[in-house]
Amino acid sequence: MKNIAILGSTGSIGTQTLEVVRDNKQLFRAFMITAHSNAYLLIQQAIEFLPAYVIICDESKYTEVKEALAHLPIKVLAGYNAIKDHVTLPEIDVVLTAMVGFAGLEPTINAIKAGKDIALANKETLVVAGDIVTSLAKEHNVKILPVDSEHSAIFQCLAGEEANAIEKIILTASGGPFRGKSAAFLADVTREHALKHPNWVMGAKITIDSASLMNKGLEVIEAKWLFDLQPSQIEVVVHPQSIVHSLVQFEDGSIKAQMGLPDMKLPIQYALTYPQRIKTNFKRFSFADYANLSFEQPDMDTFRNLKLAFEAMEQGGNMPCIINAANEVAVAAFLANETSFLAMSDVIESCMQQIAYIKNPTLHDYLNTDKETRIFAQNLIQKMPLKA
Ligand code: NDP
Ligand code: MG
């Protein structure tokens, strides 16, 4: 029986993780669940799964959660620091990081220092501070098991292979709702257009990132750290059907791919049962439903975020942290109808040019870079005309 701490249990990955737990009660226990502010769903989840700990970040919701669960043997806590402090509890075997954005970084670091294996959905953690996180994981002998479907695919392709036999990896991208569109078209798209992903139902932030290809950019950097690769070993190919989840090419020229219907429960479950597989009743892929699987090159001139992410990876240091913070601010502004789709790339590019570059950042430097970039990006957005 594995005790899991699910950080962000009320989100898209969090709720699907609880579905996996529900289907495998003999294997997993949701030992801790956390949310930002969705008290209602957190309470429902707590009543069903009876975790030992329930944490709500938003302290104004504490009393509501506490009172609703008062009759149950559950410890209720509030505040972001409570998450950071309690991911280290000795009962926890694995921490599944399904909170969104930079907020995932510090709890993940604390969990690693306490020797917890990480099932990592929160890609921003590796984008921001991949060097620190991966070296801490080595030092504390903990596994970072990918939940992101592309990285899970690569991880599955690497089973039984020597890591140094990798020539390159090829991450697949669906291309999102605006695949094939021009910059002129993108100039007018709204949040409602961008929130309609063709193949996946996900949280709002990652859905916008998928539409702008920033999600793929973040995944490129995530892959660099997870699989210890050089930037030149990472490629992206657009594959609109989202059936081939990614590929690895080995030094003899052989390519392995992992395939399946798009369903995050599979990579979530694999991260939790690795190295075993367990039987599921998930819907199976059939070639009868897919006459064509197609592949095309990404258009990095129109979808500039992907190019900017490759550049940030090449530059290293705090540059990926800068693009992540700039992107989080830009996406939040776009979701609030405060900036345009294309302006998001302008904000990211300006931040890359204006925020001080640090070649070998400490954790403290990353925290400062994140803060500084957010302020800069926010000011920039306020000064920009809504429509260019
Ligand atoms: P959601 O927005 O659906 O859920 C985010 C979760 O984190 C919610 O439980 C939310 O609580 C909580 N949360 C949000 N902000 C904070 C914060 N500042 N502090 C603490 N908790 C917070 O996101 P997704 O599930 O879509 O994505 C989660 C992570 O997984 C992201 O990093 C994403 O990139 C990654 N990922 C997601 C995939 C997907 O299919 N959705 C696929 C691959 C990776 P509340 O509900 O109260 O707001
Ligand atoms: Mg992905």
* pLDDT tens, position by position, 135-175: 999 999 999 999 999 999 999 999 999 989 999 999 999 99
Which ligand has the nearest atom to the CA of 223?
2
134 is in an annotated binding site: no
Residue to mutate, 6, 7, 9, 12, ligand 1, most ligand atoms under 8 Å from C-beta: 12
The answer to whether the annotation marks 242 as part of a ligand binding site is no
Q: Which residue type, as a one-letter code, is found at position 273?
A: T
Neighbours of ion ligand 2 (CB under 5 A): 148-150
Of 139, 134, 147, 33, the closest CA to residue 87 belongs to 33
Q: Is the ipTM of this complex over 0.95?
A: yes
Query: CATH homologous superfamily of domain 2-146?
Result: NAD(P)-binding Rossmann-like Domain (3.40.50.720)
197 is in an annotated binding site: yes
- Distance from CA of residue 226 to its chain's centroid? 13
pLDDT of residue 236: 98
Cα distance between residue 86 and residue 77, in whole Å:
10
Nearest atom in ligand 1 to 39's CA: 47
The pLDDT tens digits of the residues spanning 275-317 come to: 999 999 999 999 999 999 999 999 999 999 999 999 999 999 9
For 164-193, how does the pLDDT look when each residue is reduced to its tens digit (9 = 90+)? 999 999 999 999 999 999 999 999 999 999
The first and second tokens of residue 316, run together, are 């290293």
- Domain coordinates of the chain in residue numbers? 2-146, 148-261+273-299, 316-388
Residue 9 assigned to a binding site: no
> Using one digit for the tens of pLDDT, what is the confidence trace for 333-373?
999 999 999 999 999 999 999 999 999 999 999 999 999 99
Q: Residues 246, 171: contact at Cβ < 8 Å?
A: yes
DSSP 3-state assignment of 120? strand
Which percentage of the chain shows pLDDT scores above 90?
97
Residue nearest to atom 40 of ligand 1 (CA): 202
Name the residue at shortest CA distance from atom 7 of ligand 1: 99
pTM as predicted: 0.97
Pocket of ligand 1 (CB under 6 A): 8-14, 35-38, 57, 80, 98-100, 103, 121-124, 148, 200, 202-203, 205-206, 264
In the structure, what pLDDT confidence band is assigned to residue 388 with cuts at 50, 70 and 90?
Answer: very low
pLDDT in tens, 246-255: 999 999 999 9
How far apart CA 186 and CA 59 sit, in angstroms, is 39
What fold does the segment set 316-388 form as a domain?
A: Rna Polymerase Sigma Factor; Chain: A (1.10.1740)
